[in-house]
Amino acid sequence: MQLSSTDHRLSVLHVAQPVDGGVARVVTDLVRSQLSAGMRVDVACPDGGCLPDAVRGLGSGTHRWAATRSPGPGLPGEVRRLARIVDALRPDIVHAHSAKAGLAARLALRGKVPTVFQPHAWSFEAVGGATARLALRWERFGARWATHVICVSEAERLTGQRSGVDARWSVIPNGVDVERFRPVAAQAARTALGLSGQAPVVVCVGRLCRQKGQDVLLRAWAAVTERMPLARLVLVGDGPDGAGLREQAPASVRFAGDVEDATPWYQAADLVVLPSRWEGMALVPLEAMACARPVLVTDVDGARESLPPELVPHGLVPAQDPQALARALVALLGDPSLRESLGRAAHRHVSNTHDVRHTADAVAAVYRELLGVGPIKCRESINP
């Protein structure tokens, strides 16, 4: 990624909360790309999670921003602390990731600095009742303080637009590092992870929380093992619902916990499943498809857009429907030749459509438009 000749070194401050999961991976990839472009890049985020160490290791400035994951009584202090960081750094652009960072950044800046807001799924979809109504009112109001809103799927943009969020939009699909996530023989991956080479293996990667729907998957899994008693399910990740999920899981379910790199688990899988209740565009299916593994996902925002046409009839089920999920799991696990064909199509699709370098170029184009600077073109791999 290369900046045109200019007297000014473009400076970006990324503000992130949460600091793990897909948001952390998106921010890390953007930071890597922008540093390679010669930008000055800083990240403000809470301690903990994988994000601070990851971006610090790339050479980004990191700034401790104490902030909880959800809004609460500490919000005014969080806004003041973020305003002080912005005043000290004086960035050209502030890029806020996810609902909480977007809330604090827009309140702190109120349009005084060009502000890009990237929801990574809308806050009002994550809650219900009065809390959802309050979140929606804020997103409608707060849009005035976002110079630009980046959605990761057209479905996410339409959800915001139909809900009355009036913004200047861009849709930039999520991308993954296709050199890091790549196909290898499943048998070798299974041996390294201590998995049986014979039993069908389904892998679900994600934070153990309501959004990701592992509770629905466990309800479906009982029906799967009635038909396929040798099948094994691996849940990769941890989170607030971990203890409850472990209590209800049968012996055929393995909890792998948090892992630094989920790539070996994708490569070991016959099938990767993500039964989310809501998303913007999930990274897990893209990472799995880059490893040439078929995926089964729920029909939430971004899901259809992330799949190749060949996979849609087989890889998409309604959200929160354990019976439909079980039927689709059994059908795919019972047809190895179909899985192999779908895996090849998935790999081609991600390589052509969801390479993270395309994502970095598109974000750079948004910055360029907002600031009126010269061309910014990605020319280097963003691998470390």
Let me know whether 336 and 364 are in one domain.
Answer: no
Q: Range of 93's domain?
A: 2-175+355-377
For residue 152, the model assigns a pLDDT of 95
158 domain-assigned: yes
Let me know whether 233 and 169 are in one domain.
Answer: no
- pLDDT higher than 60, residue 383: no
For residues 70-74, average pLDDT: 88
Residue carrying the six token digits 């934070």: 207
How many domains does the chain fold into?
Answer: 2
For residue 9, the model assigns a pLDDT of 82
For residues 101-128, average pLDDT: 94
For residue 374, the model assigns a pLDDT of 55
Between 127 and 11, the more confident residue is: 11
Let me know whether 209 and 319 are in one domain.
Answer: yes
What's the CA gap between 330 and 327, in Å, rounded?
A: 5
238 domain-assigned: yes
Q: At what angle do helices 21-36 and 51-58 cross, to 10 degrees?
A: 10
- pLDDT per position as a tens digit, 9-31: 899 999 999 999 899 999 999 99
H/E stretch holding 93 reads strand 93-97
- pLDDT higher than 60, residue 384: no
Let me know whether 79 and 102 are in one domain.
Answer: yes
pLDDT band at 8; cut points 50, 70, 90: low
57 domain-assigned: yes
For residue 102, the model assigns a pLDDT of 97
For residue 63, the model assigns a pLDDT of 97
Let me know whether 345 and 363 are in one domain.
Answer: no
For residue 6, the model assigns a pLDDT of 42
Let me know whether 306 and 230 are in one domain.
Answer: yes
For residue 163, the model assigns a pLDDT of 96
Question: Could you tell me what percent of the chain has a pLDDT over 70?
Answer: 95
- pLDDT per position as a tens digit, 134-175: 999 999 999 999 999 999 999 999 999 999 999 999 999 999
Let me know whether 219 and 283 are in one domain.
Answer: yes
Let me know whether 253 and 219 are in one domain.
Answer: yes
Q: Mean pLDDT check: name the lowest of 48-57, 251-260, 369-378.
A: 369-378
Let me know whether 64 and 157 are in one domain.
Answer: yes
For residue 197, the model assigns a pLDDT of 75
240 domain-assigned: yes
Let me know whether 339 and 251 are in one domain.
Answer: yes
For residue 196, the model assigns a pLDDT of 76
CB atoms within 10 A of CB 116: 23
- Residue 347: both structure tokens together: 């790999």
End-to-end distance of the chain based on CA atoms, in angstroms? 14
For residue 186, the model assigns a pLDDT of 86
Let me know whether 9 and 93 are in one domain.
Answer: yes
What's the CA gap between 175 and 299, in Å, rounded?
A: 19
Find all residues with CB under 8 Å of 173, minimum gap 6, and list them.
152, 153, 281, 302, 305, 306, 353, 354, 359
382 domain-assigned: no
For residues 114-123, average pLDDT: 95
H/E stretch holding 110 reads none
For residues 238-247, average pLDDT: 96
Of the candidates 274, 283, 296, 300, the residue with the CA atom closest to the CA atom of residue 343: 296
Let me know whether 309 and 274 are in one domain.
Answer: yes
Per residue, the 3-state secondary structure of 321-352, as one string, reads CHHHHHHHHHHHHCCHHHHHHHHHHHHHHHHH
- The string over 130-141, giving b where at least 16 C-beta atoms fall within 10 Å of a residue's C-beta and e elsewhere, is eeeeebbebbbe
For residues 284-291, average pLDDT: 97
Residue carrying the six token digits 């000749």: 5
pLDDT band at 7; cut points 50, 70, 90: very low
Q: What is the CATH number of the domain that holds 137?
A: 3.40.50.2000
- pLDDT per position as a tens digit, 182-233: 999 888 899 889 887 788 999 999 999 999 999 999 999 999 999 999 999 9
33 domain-assigned: yes
Query: What is the identity of the amino acid at 328?
Result: A
- pLDDT higher than 90, residue 2: no
Greatest CA separation found in the chain? 67
180 domain-assigned: no
